[in-house]
Amino acid sequence: MKKLLVTGAGGFLGAAVCQAAIRRWQVFGVIRTHAPGARLQAVYRADITRRQDIFRVLNEVSPQAVIHTAALADPNACQTDPDASWRINIEGAVFLAEWCAEHTVPLAFTSSDLVFDGLHAPYRESDAVNPVNRYGEHKVIAEEQIRRIHPQAAIRRMSLMFGNAPSPRSQPLSRILKQGRSVRLFVDEFRTPLFVEAAAEGILSTLNYPGVLHLGGAERVSRYQFGMTVAAAVGASPQLIVPCFQKDVPMPAPRPSDVSFDIGLARSLGFHPPILADCFSP
């Protein structure tokens, strides 16, 4: 079996990629703090912002493909600490692109729907980027640098992802609602939420498709509508979902109002995400 290296293997998306890949690859993980749930060939603690650190791992593993999911993915953290965001979201990606280009190894880089300003949804791959926060800005720069260094790299823009397992930063909404806890969700922020297991399969199945590809869910919904769908699917009271507006929750990072994806290109490549209601069990 070929070797696959996954950065951010202990993160929400990275762990899902590892779990999906172990049936077809020898999977090696790179982590900073959180351990992956899947049993991998090996796990390395490495700092992707240190070129020597990540090159040591890459040279030791000598993978046939690399999937880069590691990121500082909290927009508020990126807004308040732009230097950390630059190092992690740009410099780390550049180091991986350099090694993969030099060794002619396929690289998949996970970008974001937040590269758009939210004014012209649904967004296709050919639409102009115009981020409104630092996280989106840094993802755009990383995309540009990766394409310059490794033109055959796979740039995978990911929509808002969700799952039934906890992430390193938060509990899944389904679990919160089952516990009878209420949540405030925006009625004026629209996304195409994507089940994390479908996201992982989408990345793996399109690994050899170069360039930009949008991986999003099958439905455009507001965060509030998403919460209502989850509540209905798990048998929770809809009263636990409290509607609010973006302006009601001051945050360091501005949020675009609608960054839903057009996933027509991904569908033509065999990507068929499930509808939201099928992703939860009572």
Q: What CATH code is assigned to 165-192+219-258? A: 3.90.25.10
% residues pLDDT > 70 (the chain): 97
Secondary structure element (H or E) that encloses residue 195, with its range: strand 194-195
Query: Given this model, what pLDDT does residue 168 score?
Result: 60
Q: Which of 136, 27, 150 is nearest to 99 (CA)?
A: 150
pTM for the full predicted model: 0.96
Specify whether the CB–CB gap between 10 and 33 falls below 8 A.
yes
Query: Given this model, what pLDDT does residue 39 score?
Result: 86
CA atoms within 13 A on the CB side of 265: 17
Q: How far apart are CA 44 and CA 57, in angstroms?
A: 7
% residues pLDDT > 90 (the chain): 90
Q: Which of 260, 263, 258, 259 is nearest to 274 (CA)?
A: 263
Map out the domains of the chain as residue ranges. Answer: 3-161+193-215, 165-192+219-258
Query: Given this model, what pLDDT does residue 100 score?
Result: 98
**Superfamily of structural domain 3-161+193-215:** NAD(P)-binding Rossmann-like Domain (3.40.50.720)
Could you read off the pLDDT of 119-152 as tens digits, one per residue? 999 999 999 999 999 999 999 999 999 999 999 9
Q: How far apart are CA 151 and CA 37, in angstroms?
A: 32
CA angle 113, 206, 94 (to 5 degrees): 60
Could you read off the pLDDT of 87-103 as tens digits, one per residue? 999 999 999 999 999 99
